[in-house]
Homo-oligomer: A and B are copies of this chain.
Amino acid sequence: MLKLDFHPAGRHFLQIPGPSPVPDRILRAMSYPTIDHRGPEFGQLGLKVLAGIQQIFKTRHPVIIYPASGTGAWEAALCNTLSAGDQVLMFETGHFASLWQKMAVSLGLKPEFIGLPGIEGWRGGVRADMIQARLEQDSEHQIKAVCVVHNETSTGVTSDIPAVRRAIDAAGHPALLLVDTISGLASADYRHDEWGVDVTISGSQKGLMLPPGISFNALSPKAIEASQRGGLPRSFWAWDEIIEMNKTGYWPYTPNTNLLYGLSEALDMILGEGLDNVFARHQRLAHACRTAVQAWGLPIQCADPSVYSPVLTGVMTPEGVDADQVRKTIYERFDMSLGTGLGKLKGRMFRIGHLGDCNDLTLMATLSGCEMGLQMAGVKLEASGVLAAMDYLAGQHVPLRRE
């Protein structure tokens, strides 16, 4: 087999904001022999994962599981609900919001991309007031959908989705609400039904701790109805036949069986720990990480503490320090991968992932690697972030041991 690791010993630290490290337990589940996707065992597996994923999205409505990676689920959400030339209101929170907007153009939709100008828009969350103002202007209801990113992976900002819902309602506007929480699901609190989202898009390789290759559309009755009335030409992404066959635990075409084994195991792990415990753990680790960054005296990419992400933290490097050079040093010397600055942020920041299968000491290893790497790159740090994070973590009285 291809030799895939340049480092001689010890475990690689994969601290990018996804794909996140896949727990051994899930890798083992994925090595169960592939079975007949039309046989009786498969139906049991199908029903189990379909029921479990509804709990993760907090929805009673159908969740589509695609045998495709997350970008596909973006396309699926758009092409099931929108028709050629439809106007869509999208909000620019960062690189992934921009990519989704670009996709909408490719599919023949007419996205209107609003947000704050320049790099400032990439340091905060969705401005519900701006969405409301725009919708109120649209008296003829030309805008068919509002598209926002819940957890912007390029910046480390987790927007307030209930506020967006309230904005749409306040404007009395019938547009669908489409939300991307690819990197937020199972890490940050998310409530598809309660928050009134019409389509939620997500993927497997973040909080669900799976390899990439599965993606999701969680639906509302309103979204299903829209898909029945129109949409773009589609077949692979079409919801209707999938919803019908899912009733017995099967899919119209070959699902990716071994990743579904992994999903089954991930659901056991996450629901076994309890979603609230999972969210609290992410908040704790994210707080520790930000404490370190603040001690270093470096700016956090997310400038608004009310929308700090529990999934990742963006760290801005000082003027004149190439963040990718820092990442390269850390990779080569300490065998750790960090996220690069994307789009407008290229070379200006790096991203620390602290999601999924992560614990206190993994985070401490991560922060140690960052602190050493920053110093080796000549960055003057105000104080040790490692010490600050340890103070925080040692001070927390979280009972980690299961009863």
Contacts and interface: CB of A to CB of B under 8 A. Distances in A.
Interface of A: 1-2, 4-14, 16, 19-24, 27-41, 44-45, 48, 66-72, 74-75, 84, 102-103, 106-108, 203, 205, 211-213, 232-236, 238, 253-259, 261, 264-265, 268-269, 273, 277-278, 281, 331-337, 340, 356-362, 364-366, 368-369, 371-372, 375-376, 384, 386-387, 390, 393-394, 400-402
A43 to B, nearest CB: 11
A358 B10 contact: yes
Given A11-B23, A361-B366, 19 more contacts: A2-B264, A4-B45, A12-B33, A16-B38, A22-B33, A22-B258, A27-B33, A28-B32, A67-B69, A68-B69, A68-B236, A70-B254, A74-B235, A212-B257, A232-B233, A333-B360, A368-B386, A368-B390, A386-B386
Contacts of A102: 235
Contact of A41 (B4, B11, B368, B387): B4
A27 B393 CA distance: 32
Which of A13, A32, A368 counts the most chain B CB atoms within 10 A? A368
A337 B39 contact: yes
Nearest to A71: B253
A340 to B, nearest CB: 7
Nearest to A67: B69
A1 B359 contact: no
* Count of identical protomers in the assembly: 4
A357 B256 contact: no
Contacts of A386: 368, 386-387, 390
Contacts of A358: 9-10
8 contacts: A8-B273, A9-B269, A24-B32, A30-B30, A39-B331, A103-B236, A205-B254, A335-B400
A376 B357 contact: no
Contacts of A20: 34
Given A2-B264, A212-B255, A400-B8, A337 B30 contact: no
A44 B2 contact: yes
A394 B365 contact: no
Contact of A16 (B1, B36, B393): B36
Contacts of A359: 7, 9-11, 334-335
Contacts of A238: 106
Nearest to A108: B233
A45 B23 CA distance: 21
B371 A368 contact: no
B402 A6 contact: yes
A110 to B, nearest CB: 12
A201 to B, nearest CB: 12
B2 A402 contact: no
Contacts of A384: 384, 387
A255 B11 contact: no
Contacts of A6: 40-41, 401-402
Contact of A21 (B34, B265, B356): B34
A236 B45 contact: no
